[in-house]
Amino acid sequence: MQIGKEKLLWMYQTMVEIRYYEETMAAVYMEGKLPPNIQKGLAFDIGGGPVPGEMHLAAGQEPVAVGVCAHLCDHDTVVGTHRPHHFAIAKGVPLGPMTAEMFGKVGGLGKGKGGHMHLFDPAHNFSCSGIVGASMPIACGAALAAKKMGKDYVAVAFFGEGAANQGSFHESLNLAALWNLPVVFVCEDNQWAISVPKNKATSVPSVAVRAAGYGMPGVHVEHNDAVAVFEAAGPAIARARSGQGPTLIEVKTDRYFGHFQGDPESYRPKDEVATLRTKDPIGLLAQLLKAHHMMSDQEQAALTAQAHQKVIGAFEFARASAYPQAQDALADVFARNHADTRELV
């Protein structure tokens, strides 16, 4: 598959942005969570600081998000996971409101009600869920809606390799193939379902082989490489868009941080992450771009600075946004009813 320079540079810059976002968040997240300003005897307080609660970061997994989203438009749907930032950024979710949501501020995507696992941006058709395997049925629904409305929109469900053992995976693949839905299932295989390695939880070495059982193509991407993901995702999305039905793609990728920030990771070999980082996908793409004279050192510096600035601006926006009023907690349980003004077909 031909990839234009513009797409390659977009993938590179977006990966830089994601990485810097996750690293910034990793640092900010630790504010207010360490001794001595927490309950005596604790090593860490998950509920403390400006960004409380669980935090699942996607550093290392950038190629999956950019390689797939490079093929998508705003009207295509993406449903992400509990580790959603890279998908959201690659889908074009505005960074300021996304970050403000994680700070629990009124300027957040959900006015502070959702938090980092529950980001909703209808304008970009992005959502995610903290429940393992929950993305797949919802993406099937978006695909079903596109089909019913006669649009050529596609939906992408991202999920981890652990979710491939959930009932929702098997039910969704069957439904999507049966109804010929324009959906692409993208499995991020980072080898770890919290502490349980893939080979202790999954009956087959590759999730992609399960596609055959549901009558759809299964594609395995062996390397954590944006170009390889782009090349695998292109035909799958084109297939869906042209009404030929769903595809399952599995990408081997790498989780650099713990399952959540603060995870002791005692289950993981000590030098595993250091080894993984030696073949970092951002560096690999930079090498490729330079080898093909598509990016000079100067251009790289400019792209990087621009991406970093965007992230810094988002965190400034989040910090400056106000907290909601306590009473606001009682609103939004139900949507407000408006008179139905749709043009009926």
**In this structure, are strands 77-80 and 155-160 parallel, antiparallel, or unpaired?**
parallel
Instruction: List the strands of the sheet with 155-160, edge to edge.
Output: 126-128, 77-80, 155-160, 183-189, 247-252, 218-221
Measured from the CB atom, the residue of 7 and 118 that comes closer to other proteins is 118
Which position has the token pair 């490489």?
A: 225
The single residue among 1, 27, 31, 47 that binds other proteins, judged by CB under 8 A, is 47
The single residue among 3, 10, 45, 238 that binds other proteins, judged by CB under 8 A, is 45
Interacting residues with other proteins between 206 and 245 (CB under 8 A) = none
Measured from the CB atom, the residue of 100 and 295 that comes closer to other proteins is 100
CB-based burial, 9-47: b 16+ in 10 Å, e otherwise: bbbbbbbbbbbbbbebbeebbbeebeeeebeeeeeebbe
Query: Which residue stretch of 2-10, 89-97, 101-109, 273-281 sits at the interface with other proteins (rule: CB under 8 A)?
Result: 101-109
Examine residue 319 and tell whether it contacts other proteins (CB under 8 A): no
Beta carbons within 8 Å of 174's beta carbon, 6+ residues apart? 214
Examine residue 174 and tell whether it contacts other proteins (CB under 8 A): no
The single residue among 167, 199, 291, 335 that binds other proteins, judged by CB under 8 A, is 167
Which position has the token pair 């995976």?
A: 169
Query: Which residue stretch of 5-13, 190-198, 239-247, 287-295 sits at the interface with other proteins (rule: CB under 8 A)?
Result: 190-198
What's the angle, vertex CA 80, arms to CA 133 and CA 56, rounded to 5? 90
The single residue among 28, 66, 157, 163 that binds other proteins, judged by CB under 8 A, is 163
The single residue among 194, 209, 212, 301 that binds other proteins, judged by CB under 8 A, is 194
Examine residue 258 and tell whether it contacts other proteins (CB under 8 A): no
Beta carbons within 8 Å of 259's beta carbon, 6+ residues apart? 56, 192, 194, 195, 265
DSSP string computed for 159-225: EEGGGGGSHHHHHHHHHHHHTT-SEEEEEEE-SEETTEEGGGT-SSS-GGGGGGGGTS-EEEE-S--
CB of 26 to other proteins, least distance (A): 16
Examine residue 97 and tell whether it contacts other proteins (CB under 8 A): no
User: Are 138 and 127 within 8 A, CB to CB?
Assistant: yes
The single residue among 129, 206, 247, 304 that binds other proteins, judged by CB under 8 A, is 129
The single residue among 97, 162, 182, 246 that binds other proteins, judged by CB under 8 A, is 162
CB of 45 to other proteins, least distance (A): 5
Examine residue 130 and tell whether it contacts other proteins (CB under 8 A): yes
Query: Omega into 36 within 30° of 0, i.e. cis?
Result: yes
Examine residue 262 and tell whether it contacts other proteins (CB under 8 A): yes
Rounded-to-integer distance, Cα 180 and Cα 197, Å: 33
Examine residue 53 and tell whether it contacts other proteins (CB under 8 A): yes
Question: Footprint of other proteins on this chain (CB under 8 A)?
Answer: 38-39, 41-48, 52-54, 101, 104-105, 108, 110-115, 117-118, 129-133, 162-163, 165-168, 193-196, 200-202, 262, 266-267, 323-330, 333
